[in-house]
Amino acid sequence: MIAIFGPTGIGKTGVAIELAEKLRERGADPVAINCDSIQVYRGLELISGAATSGDREKLEHRLISFVPITEEFSAGRFGEAARKEIDGALESGRIPILVGGTGLYLRAALSDLEMRPAVDPEIRRAVEAEIEREGPEALHATLPPKLAGQVHSHDRKRIARLTELNRSGINPHPDHEGGGELWTSSLRHPTLLIGLVEDDRVLLSKIRERVGEMAANGAGREAELADQAGASRTVRAAIGFDEFRSGDLERVIARHRRLGRRQMTWMRRLEGIEVIDRSELEDEGVAAKILELAEQVPCRVA
């Protein structure tokens, strides 16, 4: 199978669609499996940048828009769902194309990871109430220096998560301490890992254009409806949830840029990844390069 990873806005979905077309020309039956932590939510398609209905007509996408926006959804639950989708596709002779920018979700789909234990609901509710009452900066100040230095003081979602884990006595970074398996666990199936990169100025231009289109297409209204429906903490922390309603598009762009830097860090740590610079390549050209790589290392594509 094939996994396509890269920073937000780089065009992973378009590449997957072109790749699927080329695979069909060779008699294969591809299916895309989403690996983005926000695109799993139903009713958040604009804000999350999920594949459009037109995209889905060109290529079947699984694990998109299937979780109610009122629910919290974990990497552990996603991993179980993704592995089931992958196994089912392979058993029926299809080629899974994993697409997404959430590194932990991608690893959970590719490997049998032992995820962290669940946080006590009472601790979670207490942290949610505290961050609502005092703001993320106040909780950020209570984190141990080692954790506080790894997260921006305005990153509400990550601050809440680190606070929950810290108060529960759960190691927030088992991959760095105690011999965790995040980076060392074996892939469950032969996989061609593709990482997309692009000239920073070109990528910024794409992000600006994409954010403008999101706003014009109704991302603010989408966020309003999600808020009225009782959106979960994870949904409320999504990039653009607050900003599209207030019209602060520059902040949306800035947050996407920060996310992109974290995604690049993940990419550099993915063992065996084949990096493609798409700065001067259209989607079709990137897809052609992926097929070339698949032919060179066929043992890695199930």
Q: Is 182 part of any domain?
A: no
Same domain, 140 and 243: no
Backbone angles phi, psi at 220, to 5 degrees: -65, -45
Task: Give the chain's largest Cα–Cα span.
Answer: 58
Question: Which tops the pLDDT comparison, 301 or 72?
Answer: 72
Q: Mean pLDDT, the chain, as a whole number?
A: 90
Same domain, 194 and 290: yes
- Confidence at residue 116, expressed as pLDDT on a 0 to 100 scale: 62
Q: Model-level pTM?
A: 0.81
Interacting residues of 163 by C-beta distance below 8 A, sequence separation 6+:
127, 130, 131, 139, 142, 143
Alpha helices in the chain (DSSP H): 12-25, 45-48, 53-58, 75-91, 103-110, 121-134, 136-142, 145-148, 156-168, 200-216, 219-228, 233-236, 243-246, 249-269, 283-296
Exposure on the CB side of residue 157, measured as CA atoms within 13 A: 18
Lowest mean pLDDT among 126-135, 166-175, 208-217, 293-302: 293-302
**Tokens read off for 242:** 């607050």
Domain range enclosing 56 = 2-116+188-300
Surface-to-core class of residue 208, CB atoms within 10 Å of its CB (0-12 exposed, 13-18 middle, 19+ buried):
middle
Same domain, 265 and 290: yes
Same domain, 232 and 150: no
Residue 62 is classified by DSSP as E
Amino acid in position 231:
A
Q: Is 11 part of any domain?
A: yes
Amino acid in position 115:
M
Q: Is 278 part of any domain?
A: yes
Q: Is 176 part of any domain?
A: no
Q: Is 183 part of any domain?
A: no
- Confidence at residue 178, expressed as pLDDT on a 0 to 100 scale: 37
- Confidence at residue 173, expressed as pLDDT on a 0 to 100 scale: 61
Q: How far apart are CA 302 and CA 288, in angstroms?
A: 18
Question: Which tops the pLDDT comparison, 236 or 271?
Answer: 236
Same domain, 145 and 45: no
Residue at a domain's end among 101, 133, 168: 168
What pLDDT, in 10s, does the model give residues 230-241?
Answer: 999 899 999 999
- Confidence at residue 176, expressed as pLDDT on a 0 to 100 scale: 39
**Percent of the chain's residues with pLDDT above 90:** 67
Q: How far apart are CA 10 and CA 259, in angstroms?
A: 12
Interacting residues of 288 by C-beta distance below 8 A, sequence separation 6+:
22
What pLDDT, in 10s, does the model give residues 7-60?
Answer: 999 999 999 999 999 999 999 999 999 999 999 999 999 999 999 999 999 999
Residue 101 is classified by DSSP as S
Same domain, 153 and 289: no
Q: How far apart are CA 240 and CA 256, in angstroms?
A: 9
Q: Is 224 part of any domain?
A: yes
Lowest mean pLDDT among 93-97, 108-112, 120-124, 246-250: 120-124
Q: How many domains does the chain have?
A: 2
CATH of the domain at 35: 3.40.50.300
Same domain, 243 and 293: yes
- Confidence at residue 279, expressed as pLDDT on a 0 to 100 scale: 93
Highest mean pLDDT among 52-61, 142-151, 268-277: 52-61
What pLDDT, in 10s, does the model give residues 151-201?
Answer: 888 888 888 888 988 888 877 665 433 334 555 568 899 999 999 999 999
Same domain, 196 and 213: yes
Residue whose C-alpha is closest to residue 112's, from 138, 86, 131: 86
Same domain, 78 and 103: yes
Q: Is 178 part of any domain?
A: no
- The 3-class secondary structure across 119-158, one letter per residue, is CCHHHHHHHHHHHHHHCHHHHHHHCCHHHHCCCCCCCHHH
Same domain, 74 and 57: yes
Residue at a domain's end among 168, 201, 234: 168
Same domain, 195 and 294: yes
- Confidence at residue 264, expressed as pLDDT on a 0 to 100 scale: 93
Q: Averaged over 104-120, what is the pLDDT?
A: 80
Same domain, 36 and 154: no
